Amino acid sequence: MEVRGLQVGLKTGEPADLLRSINLTLGRGQVLGIVGESGSGKSLTCRAILGLLNTRSMRVSGSVQLNGQELMLLPEKNLRKIRGKEIGSIMQNPMNAFTPVHTIGSQFVETLRTHSQLSKGQAWQQAVHSLESVNLMEPDKILKRYPHQLSGGMLQRVMIAICLCLRPGLVIADEPTTALDAVNQLQVLRELERLKMECGTSILIVSHDLGVIAQMADEVAVMRKGEIVEHAGVHELFDAPRHAYTRMLLEARPRLGKEAKNAEGSKRQLSL
């Protein structure tokens, strides 16, 4: 995937007041992390890449290429075929990603059948297999349940199971673990890692947690106020952060007593 000069602005405002010339490159089987504080445009970048922004109120320009194919020029009909099949997405809030009025199974089967020529029975079988592979117990029961009957961590794993089935070349994970507790977070990261190893999928992972980035990413882009302020390999970034904001992110972890007092001075200087 290659993103060149992506710009987003409100129609009523400046042409590039939300995102300013974003450039990203992501090779096969690589993991690119995007970090930044809330409101820095991380999620907006993801949605712009997926073509999910409302073009009536937003002005989007630039180019997004996937395997040499320009996505910005494709009509909505073709884009729909690409979303899910070639670009999988995992959203922050799994509760909103499922319809509450249909069972998990019917939504799972529907997604599989729109992207392949499976019969309902075959699709169900495949769903059962992929739920097993993400370590969910009793997949048949889970498929018959409604989204509100599952916990956040389970739903997030169901989302990943759908991704696993379709074997997309690129997965966009927008804060996949923010809504989860630490134990579930590790589970979800484990599944993403497996997706990468088994299918050679590239992953674009957005997070404000540097722990997730340290664990997963090969390269990191740091965003602030709609711009990429630093772009480096993960080791390089953690060893020698160049931008002041990156240093602040690195220092922002819960501290114990004495350590906190030493750090206070440096934090005041940077002042959010």
Partner 1 sequence: MLKVQNVSYRYDSWNWWRPRSEESSVLRDVSLDLEGGCCLGLLGTSGAGKSTLGKVVLGLQRPNKGQILFEGQDLYASGGQLRQRIRREIQVVFQDCYSSVNPLMTAAQIIGEPLRNYERLSAGELRRCTGALLEKVGLSAGDGSKTPDEFSGGQLQRINIARAIALRPKLIVLDEPVSSLDRVHQSLILELLADLKSSLGVSYLFITHDIQAAMALCDRVAVMDRGEIVQMTDKPLSLWESESPTVRSLTEAVLPEHPSLRRSLS
Contacts to partner 1 by CB under 8 A: 37-39, 151-153, 178, 180-186, 189-190, 193-194, 197, 208-212, 214-215, 217, 234-235, 238, 248-249, 252-256, 260, 264, 267, 272
Whole-angstrom Cα distance, residue 81 to residue 87?
Answer: 9
Nearer to partner 1, 123 or 237 (CB): 237
182-199 and 152-166 are packed helices; what angle lies between their axes, rounded to 10 degrees? 0
* Amino acid letter for position 103: T
Whole-angstrom Cα distance, residue 10 to residue 181?
Answer: 35
Nearer to partner 1, 146 or 238 (CB): 238
In order of 71, 99, 111, 155, the CA distances from 185 in angstroms are 32, 23, 25, 12
- Report, in Å, the least distance between residue 151 CB and partner 1: 7
Nearer to partner 1, 102 or 242 (CB): 242
Nearer to partner 1, 39 or 200 (CB): 39
Nearer to partner 1, 86 or 219 (CB): 219
- Report, in Å, the least distance between residue 247 CB and partner 1: 11
3-class secondary-structure state, position 171: strand
- Report, in Å, the least distance between residue 145 CB and partner 1: 16
* Amino acid letter for position 65: Q
Residue 143: alpha-carbon gap to chain centroid: 24
- Report, in Å, the least distance between residue 51 CB and partner 1: 27
- Report, in Å, the least distance between residue 252 CB and partner 1: 4
Query: The sheet that has 2-10: what strands, in order across it?
Result: 19-25, 2-10, 58-66, 69-70
- Report, in Å, the least distance between residue 109 CB and partner 1: 28
Q: How many alpha carbons fall within 13 Å on the CB side of residue 231?
A: 8
Nearer to partner 1, 101 or 272 (CB): 272
Q: Do the Cβ atoms of 16 and 75 come closer than 8 Å? A: no
Whole-angstrom Cα distance, residue 167 to residue 88?
Answer: 8
